[in-house]
């Protein structure tokens, strides 16, 4: 039987710093919806690190969902659900409620419509005070963009003109239109940011 697990080298480097932040902002119990789960490596690591939380991974790509489920099968975590088919940009999601939403490295590697859909989905699903967690590189007004992030942005735009680093202020403004307010921004390794919004 072939191994359909996919690997993202960055996951090994960022999963522990991200887990540390998530442990400080997520509720002790409940359902966490992960948008654009990718390979599934994060989902397994977070489910293992926060055993009282039910982790619901999702991805619109069938190959990614197969990878997520393969990683999950190997981990044997009872709090890690099977991956669901969810496109952030869709007007309706196959989920009606979540106690938190986590989205890692999607905003810059997807069309802007995906971020618009993410914010709309968070508005629909989250209760007052519940967190939306974003992780990745952003541009910030008054803060020089790291050369490595500038190069990454050029690479992304060469692959798909709809991709690229987003201005954090633009993302914040969009969030506000969907009843989400910025809670905190945390500097992370490799010039990334953890951005936490809360439902008003």
Three-state DSSP at 182 gives strand
Contacts of 90 (CB under 8 A, 6+ apart): 117
What is the DSSP-derived secondary structure letter of residue 4?
Answer: -
| Segment 49-90, tens digit of pLDDT | 999 999 999 999 999 999 999 999 989 999 999 999 999 999
Is 137:143 a contact under the CB 8 Å cutoff? no
What is the DSSP-derived secondary structure letter of residue 190?
Answer: G
4 located within any domain: no
Domain boundaries, position 61: 9-199
pLDDT of residue 179 exceeding 60, the answer is yes
pLDDT of residue 2 exceeding 80, the answer is no
Helix (H) / strand (E) containing 46: helix 41-49
pTM of the model: 0.96
pLDDT of residue 1 exceeding 60, the answer is no
Q: At what angle do helices 9-25 and 41-49 cross, to 10 degrees?
A: 40
pLDDT category of residue 12 using cuts at 50, 70 and 90? confident
Sign, CA torsion 32/35/37/41: negative
What pLDDT, on the 0 to 100 scale, is given for residue 120? 98
Number of structural domains (the chain) is: 1
pLDDT of residue 19 exceeding 90, the answer is yes
| Segment 119-140, tens digit of pLDDT | 999 999 999 999 999 999 999 9
Mean pLDDT over each residue of the chain, to the nearest integer = 96
pLDDT of residue 147 exceeding 60, the answer is yes
**What gap in Å lies between CA 121 and CA 14, rounded to an integer?**
26
**Bridge partner list, 137:** none
What pLDDT, on the 0 to 100 scale, is given for residue 113? 98
pLDDT category of residue 20 using cuts at 50, 70 and 90? very high
Exposure on the CB side of residue 182, measured as CA atoms within 13 A: 12
Three-state DSSP at 108 gives coil
The maximal CA–CA distance of the chain, rounded, in angstroms, is: 52
Mean pLDDT in residue range 15-41: 97
62 located within any domain: yes
1 located within any domain: no
3 located within any domain: no
188 located within any domain: yes
How far CA 186 is from CA of 34, 37, 171, 189, in Å, comes to 19, 21, 15, 10
pLDDT of residue 34 exceeding 90, the answer is yes
CATH code of 25's domain: 3.40.50.150
Tokens of 19: 């887990």
């Amino acid at each position: 039987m072939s191994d359909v697990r996919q690997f993202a080298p960055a996951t090994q480097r960022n999963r522990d710093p991200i887990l540390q932040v998530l442990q400080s902002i997520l509720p002790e119990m409940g359902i966490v919806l992960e948008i654009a789960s990718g390979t599934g490596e994060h989902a397994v690591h977070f489910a293992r690190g926060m055993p009282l939380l039910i982790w619901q991974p999702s991805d619109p790509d069938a190959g990614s969902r197969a990878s997520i489920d393969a990683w999950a099968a190997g981990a044997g975590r009872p709090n890690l659900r099977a991956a669901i088919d969810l496109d952030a940009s869709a007007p309706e999601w196959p989920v009606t409620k979540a106690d938190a939403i986590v989205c890692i490295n999607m905003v810059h590697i997807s069309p802007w419509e995906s971020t618009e859909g993410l914010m709309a989905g968070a508005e629909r699903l989250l209760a007052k005070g519940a967190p939306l967690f974003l992780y990745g590189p952003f541009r910030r007004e008054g803060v020089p963009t790291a050369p490595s992030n500038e190069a990454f942005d050029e690479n992304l735009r060469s692959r798909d003109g709809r991709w690229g680093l987003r201005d954090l202020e633009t993302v914040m403004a969009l969030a506000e239109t969907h009843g989400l307010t910025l809670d905190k921004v945390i500097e992370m390794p490799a010039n990334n940011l953890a951005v936490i919004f809360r439902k008003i």
